[in-house]
């Protein structure tokens, strides 16, 4: 076992990375005088990981869409005492989520974190799948999928992804489809579990007033050493252009909803960290609530308070910038946004606005250092991206307004953009 200290001289903060002999890396951020402890046991496995191979399989194999989310549901199943009953005995709050590229199991507690950690490590390493309990879950997840399909905002979002991506599985709902989950069997669940829930593909992140030696002692006792499977996932080549420029659907909504999406080239490591930082700052300056464009559209009644923007991605797989909201004329919002992008490409960003946006983002990072939940999430995400929690702040010091302007060609290319609109049902 060896240990690294990840330190920031700028902030006077640090956390430990322990390379455990089981194959798992353990990230610990000790926060003295904090009453709450947060932990996440996460695997680099999400809805997009449907085509993969290992040293043992040799060739790539494909599995049904939605299986990562199905696995998340089933891991709370136990042959003995239900997991949530165990957590109730410790007073901890437990949860789990599946994203495009990650599945994580978490707990938060203000007492007895040691026992909660034992529960977390134990149940995630003890899958219990039977024909009966897998079949029972199928109906539950099918209802969940149908509920998502009845959500206008969810439909708008996935229609946008289906419009900008021709092949990439990010366009498929994280839960899969009713047809795809019908193919899931206990055997398939075990195959995917044994592949992706290998400790070499996972990380344990903990933030709070914990004792590092005690964490290691629990891990020594509970973790089951694993062999590195040399896991490799494959994603289709996308190329330039989109599947459709405009997609519409009808739902019972008062005002049309819209998602405007831009497909960008995927990247990883520090290039990824820099690109996501630039994208978020550029979006805020282009159409954030304090931008001239937002104020104009708001004053004209083309936007309201139901508005947002984001950049989300998976290191080395996909990268999306998006703008979403309600509008009586989404196409006009799209046209005006594209025009603003072209204007800024020629004229550049206002230096004062850039400095305000950069300071705001820097302030958000500083505030995160006081949140056990925020730090646990940041450690996990940065680990899977091949970076550290401090890298974004260090990059922010060097990013300029000109860097943001120069990135517009790649981040907001009209050829790689599309709009998804949810229209009110016509009577």
Q: Structural domain boundaries of the chain? A: 2-233, 246-424
Domain spanning 246-424, CATH class: alpha beta
Give CA–CA dist 305/303, Å, rounded: 7
Give CA–CA dist 227/95, Å, rounded: 28
Q: Give all strands of the β-sheet with 61-62 in edge-to-edge order.
A: 61-62, 51-53, 232-233
Query: Is there a shared CATH topology between the 2-233 domain and the 246-424 domain?
Result: yes
Is 135 one of the catalytic residues? no
Instruction: Report the largest interatomic distance among the alpha carbons of the chain, rounded to a whole angstrom.
Output: 67
| Element (DSSP H or E) covering residue 338 | helix 330-347
- Read off the pLDDT of residues 372-406 as tens digits, 9 standing for 90 and up: 999 999 999 999 999 999 999 999 999 999 999 99
Give CA–CA dist 231/122, Å, rounded: 23
Model pLDDT, residue 427: 67
3-state secondary structure of 259: strand
Residue 274 contacts residue 399 (beta carbons within 8 Å)? yes
Residue 293 contacts residue 365 (beta carbons within 8 Å)? no
Residue 123 contacts residue 83 (beta carbons within 8 Å)? yes
**202 bridge partner residues:** 43
Model pLDDT, residue 355: 96
Alpha-helix runs per DSSP H in 76-151: 83-90, 113-124, 131-149
Residue 268 CB contacts under 8 Å (≥ 6 apart), including other chains: 315, 316, 385, 386
Q: Which CATH number does the domain 2-233 belong to among 3.30.830.10, 3.30.479.30, 3.30.390.10, 2.40.30.260?
A: 3.30.830.10
- Read off the pLDDT of residues 278-318 as tens digits, 9 standing for 90 and up: 999 999 999 999 999 999 999 999 999 999 999 998 878 89
Model pLDDT, residue 304: 95
Q: Which of 72, 137, 238, 273 is catalytic?
A: 72
Structure-derived torsion over alpha carbons of residues 326, 332, 334, 338, reported in degrees to the nearest 10: -150
pTM of the model: 0.94
Model pLDDT, residue 178: 95
Positions in the chain whose pLDDT score sits under 70? 427
């Amino acid at each position: 076992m060896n240990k690294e200290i990840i330190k920031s001289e700028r902030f006077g903060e640090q956390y430990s990375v322990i390379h455990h002999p089981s194959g798992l890396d353990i990230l610990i951020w000790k926060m003295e005088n904090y009453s709450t402890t947060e932990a996440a046991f996460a695997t680099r496995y999400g809805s997009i990981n449907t085509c993969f191979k290992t040293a043992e399989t040799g060739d790539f194999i494909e599995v049904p869409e939605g299986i990562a989310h199905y696995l998340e549901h089933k891991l709370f199943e136990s042959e003995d005492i239900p997991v949530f009953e165990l957590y109730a005995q410790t007073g901890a709050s437990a949860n789990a989520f599946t994203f495009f590229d990650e599945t994580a199991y978490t707990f938060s507690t203000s007492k007895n974190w040691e026992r909660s950690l034992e529960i977390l490590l134990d149940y995630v390493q003890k899958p219990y799948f039977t024909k009966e309990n897998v079949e029972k879950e199928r109906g539950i997840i099918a209802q969940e999928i149908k509920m998502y399909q009845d959500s206008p905002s969810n439909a708008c979002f996935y229609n946008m992804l289906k419009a900008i991506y021709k092949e990439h599985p990010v366009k498929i709902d994280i839960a899969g489809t009713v047809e795809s989950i019908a193919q899931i069997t206990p055997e398939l669940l075990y195959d995917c579990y044994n592949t992706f829930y290998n400790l070499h593909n996972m990380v344990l992140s903990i933030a709070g007033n914990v004792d590092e030696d005690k964490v290691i002692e629990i891990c020594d006792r509970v973790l089951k050493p694993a062999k590195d499977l040399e896991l490799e996932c494959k994603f289709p080549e996308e190329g330039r252009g989109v599947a459709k420029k405009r997609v519409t659907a009808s739902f019972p909504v008062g005002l049309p909803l819209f998602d405007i999406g831009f497909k960008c080239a995927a990247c990883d490591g520090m290039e990824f960290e820099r690109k996501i930082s630039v994208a978020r700052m550029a979006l805020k300056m282009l159409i954030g609530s304090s931008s001239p464009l937002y104020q104009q559209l708001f004053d004209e009644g083309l936007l309201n308070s139901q508005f947002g923007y984001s950049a989300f991605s998976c290191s080395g797989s996909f990268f999306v910038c998006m703008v979403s909201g309600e509008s009586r004329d989404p196409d006009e919002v799209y046209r005006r946004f594209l025009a603003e992008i072209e204007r800024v490409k020629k004229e550049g960003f206002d230096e004062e606005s850039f400095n305000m946006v950069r300071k705001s983002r820097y302030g958000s990072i500083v505030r995160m250092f006081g949140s056990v939940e925020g730090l646990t999430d940041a450690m996990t995400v940065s680990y899977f991206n091949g970076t550290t929690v401090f890298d974004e702040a260090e990059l922010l010091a060097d990013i300029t307004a000109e860097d943001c302007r120069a990135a517009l060609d790649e981040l907001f290319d009209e050829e790689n953009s599309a709009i998804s609109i949810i229209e009110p049902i016509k009577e």
